Amino acid sequence: MKKQVLIAGGGIAGMAAALGATHAGWDARVFERAAAFSEVGAGVQLGPNVVRRLQAWGLHQAVQQVAALPQQLVARSALSGQVLASAPLGQSMVERYGAAYVTIHRADLHSLLYNAAKDRAGVYINPGQEVLEILGTERVTTIRTTAHKVVEGDALMLADGVWSKLRGPVLGDSSRPRVSGHLAYRALLPMTDIPVGWRSNEVTVWLGPGMHAVHYPVRRGEMMNIVVIIEGPSPDNLEHWDHAANAQVLEQALRHCSSNLQDLIRSVPAAGMQWRLWPLSDRAPIQGPEAMARGLVGLIGDAAHPMRPYLAQGAGMAIEDAAELQRALAMDDLDVELRLRRYALNRWERNARVQARSIRNGRIFHATGLVRWGRDMSMRMLGGKLMDVPWLYSGEGSSASIL
């Protein structure tokens, strides 16, 4: 009889976990609070380390149909607008790391994972059912849902995000995610509404004191994703992270920036579009495998290791988690508890490293004074060498990368 994993959460992490589990020969039952999956979020960058995992699940064509394939990464000074450094993406990434660097709308990434999961035998998706409580974890895991159902499985994966309500009881940790003090303004625009000079197939990062901005194409290059992150007080209700934003507040915060960047920012309200505001929260880098698995319960994605977006790996680490979960669950000679322990042992250090590097990058991106001067000088001298991340994209070696 096939083993069954219960998955709390039907976002990117939950759907990836379902794919990994069924590729390992398990059944997967996904429980998602939302009654219907809607188009939320903005853009996501996926490095070759992540795209390789999607290709292994047979999703290469599905990714190509909805993603953009940027050809270059460019870093600019947010104050002067001058180029600080650039690095090739496109075919160069394929040759170096075996897969492309892609940019994709978060809803498109979720949709392709959802469609792949629902079409697989053994995946059962239950929308409108949140996991309310874990009733037991001896020999089997037992949960209770908002639909008043009690369900048993051989293992349980928590994929319910940074504000997971189930994480605390499992880990014995009542702490809340920490407020970063960074606010992300996000917008999506048709490429035809972008100022002509910025309609490009590039990932562009603007680095400035106490802020940075990034924009890149999504949806086959038909749309542009724009994100501006500034430092400031967060809204009161952090758990409802998607807020309407005041464009004038953002424009005032960028009044000292390059006129080109200001023109790009003003193109959002000029096109009749709105900014959305996301306060950023995270947790300190995880300290050991116990943060990712306890007994028959595992954690995946933001429920285990929420991270700041300064390495563009939040969704990527969830997908990597799911690929490792697949390998662990396929170890039929081990008890389920030991399989989850192996999953956690093989993932926690890499996730912790990405969390720590993301925090470090945020400090460098937003640097002031001499640190900012040194950053800009280093980028002008070393260029693309500082923008590549071999240890991340290949899983081997090390790098002094700041991106």
Nearest CA-CA partner of 153 in 137, 130, 173: 137
Residue-level pLDDT at 7:
98
* 104-145 per-position pLDDT tens digit: 999 999 999 999 999 999 999 999 999 999 998 889 999 999
Neighbours of 94 (CB within 10 A): 15
SS3 state of residue 88: strand
* 149-193 per-position pLDDT tens digit: 999 999 999 999 999 999 999 999 989 999 888 999 999 999 999
SS3 state of residue 16: helix
Nearest CA-CA partner of 251 in 233, 234, 242, 264: 264
Structural domains in the chain, CATH included, are 4-177+283-394 (3.50.50.60), 179-282 (3.30.9.30)
**pTM (two decimals):** 0.94
* 224-265 per-position pLDDT tens digit: 999 999 997 765 554 554 556 778 889 999 999 999 999 999
Residue-level pLDDT at 344:
98
Residue-level pLDDT at 137:
87
Residue-level pLDDT at 44:
95
Residue-level pLDDT at 397:
36
Residue 252: partners with Cβ closer than 8 Å, 6 or more residues away:
none
What backbone torsions phi and psi does residue 8 show, to the nearest 5 degrees? -90, 100
- Distances from the Cα of 1 to the Cα of 26, 154, 337, angstroms: 10, 11, 18
Q: Which residues pair with 276 in a beta bridge?
A: 186, 244
Residue-level pLDDT at 364:
95
pLDDT band at 278 (very low <50, low <70, confident <90, very high): confident
Classify the C-alpha dihedral 319-322-326-328 as positive or negative: positive
- Residue 124, classified by CB atoms within 10 Å of its CB into exposed (0-12), middle (13-18) or buried (19+), is middle
pLDDT band at 400 (very low <50, low <70, confident <90, very high): very low
Q: What distance in Å separates the CA atoms of residue 275 and residue 236, rounded to the nearest whole number?
A: 18
Residue 84: partners with Cβ closer than 8 Å, 6 or more residues away:
75, 76, 77, 207, 376, 379, 380
Q: Which two tokens stand for residue 224?
A: 């542009």
pLDDT band at 398 (very low <50, low <70, confident <90, very high): very low
**Strand pairing class (123-127; 27-32):** parallel
Mean pLDDT (whole number) for 351-371 = 96
Q: What distance in Å separates the CA atoms of residue 327 and residue 21, rounded to the nearest whole number?
A: 9
* 192-211 per-position pLDDT tens digit: 999 998 899 999 999 999 99
Would the pLDDT of 399 be above 50? no
Residue-level pLDDT at 401:
46
In the DSSP assignment, the letter for residue 395 is S
Would the pLDDT of 15 be above 50? yes
User: How far does the chain reach from its first CA to its final CA, in angstroms?
Assistant: 47
* 279-311 per-position pLDDT tens digit: 899 999 999 999 999 999 999 999 999 999 999
Residue-level pLDDT at 197:
86
Residue holding tokens 């170890």?
A: 331
Helical axes 314-329 vs 48-56, angle rounded to 10°: 40
* 48-95 per-position pLDDT tens digit: 999 999 999 999 999 999 999 999 999 999 999 999 999 999 999 999
- Residue 60, classified by CB atoms within 10 Å of its CB into exposed (0-12), middle (13-18) or buried (19+), is middle
Q: What distance in Å separates the CA atoms of residue 11 and residue 107, rounded to the nearest whole number?
A: 10
Calculate what percentage of the chain has a pLDDT beyond 90: 84
Would the pLDDT of 395 be above 80? no
Sheet arrangement for strand 27-32:
123-127, 27-32, 4-8, 155-158, 297-299, 293-294
Q: What is the mean pLDDT of the chain?
A: 92
